[in-house]
Amino acid sequence: MKCPECDADLSIPVDAAVGEIISCGDCGADYEISKKDGSTIEIKEAETVGEDWGE
Amino acid sequence: MSKFSIVFDRLRTEEKMLQKEAVELGHEASLIDAKITQINTSSQIQDFDFGNIVLERCVSYYRGLYFTACLEFLDIPVINEFNVSTICGNKLLTSMILKKNNIPTPKTYFSFSGDAAQENLGKIGYPVVIKPIIGSWGRNVMPLKDKDTADAIIEQREITDGPLDRIFYLQEMVDRPPRDIRVITIGDKAVTAMYRKSSDSFKTNIALGAEPEICDITNEMEDLCAKASKAVGGGILGVDLMEDKEKGLVVHEVNNTVEFKGLVKVANINIPKEMIEFAVNSIRK
């Protein structure tokens, strides 16, 4: 899969789960895995860190 | 076998560890993404597959809080409860609850306008620490060492003018070693603790790179943490303590959606297992 931002190859671990965040090694853009069906994976742009994020 | 859900909005190591542990213990644990879950006023508990209890693990405080409200509307038990999250997510409420329950906590001053904050600072003197009442990871927690810095911060708050920016939370600067103590409590019991050490900042958040180091739980810590947990309503919590050189241990925060990936590295107990067992026991009660 290619990075939608910079077109580099995205490295997605085989055990990556829906909701997990992956980062592009080239441009640093963050993506959330939105769908995973066997080897078919869909991603969407990850939310940016919010002011209320944390524990 | 029990069935429960882990509600998330960003799947982190902690949520994956919790699910893995639940499965290893023979339970069924679903991961539910709060961002794509629809609930309305006609929703019924049977419309969903949350199981008997939910572990609310959203990284966004408000999303987790209001999702919890929806779950409780559906009569689904949640760890932690809405009332617990409301208190723990708000430093002002937490400070007051701790004090009301005679738990040692740093002296904290509240002002409700920039002018009142400046007047308060004139009486308190420097240094003090200013914190946003909602927020984590040390974000916008700043030492105010002199009037010029204070004026700049207060002016900045007035410019940004968020709904909580004119509520000023000013806390005494505790004279302590360059570390604090994070204790995880499960059902009012302190189960593990770590020192969070910082070498180049007064902030000691693991999220900012502080180093975790295992800390033995003393009887005093156990007692203080049990009291703090009970005061806010219990559940799974992260109690933060500082070692005040004059007053001894003080509780300065109780965290609601406790992160533990730092502590897992040094703890000698299985933290996710303890959490899952607590959730399962909560179902049985």
Instruction: Tell me the mean pLDDT per 10 residues along chain B, length 285.
Output: 93 94 95 96 95 96 97 97 98 98 98 96 96 91 95 93 93 94 97 86 70 92 98 98 96 95 89 96 81
**B208 shares contact with chain A (CB less than 8 Å):** no
Q: Please name the residue of chain B whose CA is at the shortest distance from the CA of residue A22.
A: B11
Task: Walk across the sheet containing B78-79 and list its strands.
Answer: B28-33, B3-8, B53-56, B78-79
pLDDT of B266 reads 86
B175-269+276-284 — its CATH code? Answer: 3.30.470.20
Distance CA B35, CA B15 (A): 15
Query: Could you tell me which of A34, A33, A25, A31 has the C-alpha nearest to residue A4?
Result: A31
B chain contacts of residue A54, beta-carbon cutoff 8 Å: 59, 61, 135-137, 139, 207
- In-domain check, residue A53: no
ipTM: 0.81
Residue type, A8: A
Q: For residue B214, what are its two tokens?
A: 């295992």
CB contact under 8 A, B139 and A50: no
Number of domains composing chain A: 1
Residues of A with CB under 8 A from a CB of B: 17-21, 32, 46-47, 50-55
Closest Cβ–Cβ partner in A17, A50, A53 for B11: A17
Q: How far apart are the first and last CA of chain B?
A: 15
B chain contacts of residue A52, beta-carbon cutoff 8 Å: 60-63, 89, 134-136
- In-domain check, residue A54: no
- In-domain check, residue A55: no
B chain contacts of residue A17, beta-carbon cutoff 8 Å: 11, 16, 31
B chain contacts of residue A32, beta-carbon cutoff 8 Å: 10
pLDDT of B199 reads 67
Q: Please name the residue of chain A whose CA is at the shortest distance from the CA of residue B62.
A: A52
How far apart are the CA of A46 and the nearest CA of chain B, in angstroms?
9
Q: For residue B179, what are its two tokens?
A: 């570390």
DSSP-assigned states of every residue in B108-132: EEEESSHHHHHHHHHHH-S-EEEE-
Distance CA B271, CA B214 (A): 13
Residue A5, domain extent: 1-48
pLDDT of B221 reads 98
CB contact under 8 A, B31 and A18: yes
Architecture of domain B3-86: 3-Layer(aba) Sandwich (3.40)
Distance CA A19, CA B32 (A): 9
B chain contacts of residue A19, beta-carbon cutoff 8 Å: 8-11, 15, 31, 33
Mean pLDDT of the A15-38 span: 92
Closest Cβ–Cβ partner in A19, A46, A55 for B136: A55
Given CA atoms B159, B165, B169, B175 in this order, what sign does their dihedral have?
negative
Distance CA B205, CA B185 (A): 18
CATH code of the domain covering residue A39: 2.20.28.160
Q: B64: exposed, middle or buried (C-beta count within 10 Å: 0-12, 13-18, 19+)?
A: buried
Query: Could you tell me which of B247, B254, B255, B126 has the C-alpha nearest to residue B176?
Result: B247
Give the residue extent of every domain in chain B: 3-86, 108-172, 175-269+276-284
- In-domain check, residue A36: yes
Question: Could you tell me if B203 and B253 are in contact, meaning their C-beta atoms sit under 8 angstroms apart?
Answer: no
**B16 shares contact with chain A (CB less than 8 Å):** yes
- In-domain check, residue A19: yes
Distance CA B29, CA B276 (A): 10
CB contact under 8 A, B11 and A21: yes
Question: Could you tell me if B169 and B91 are in contact, meaning their C-beta atoms sit under 8 angstroms apart?
Answer: yes
pLDDT of B284 reads 67
Architecture of domain B108-172: 2-Layer Sandwich (3.30)
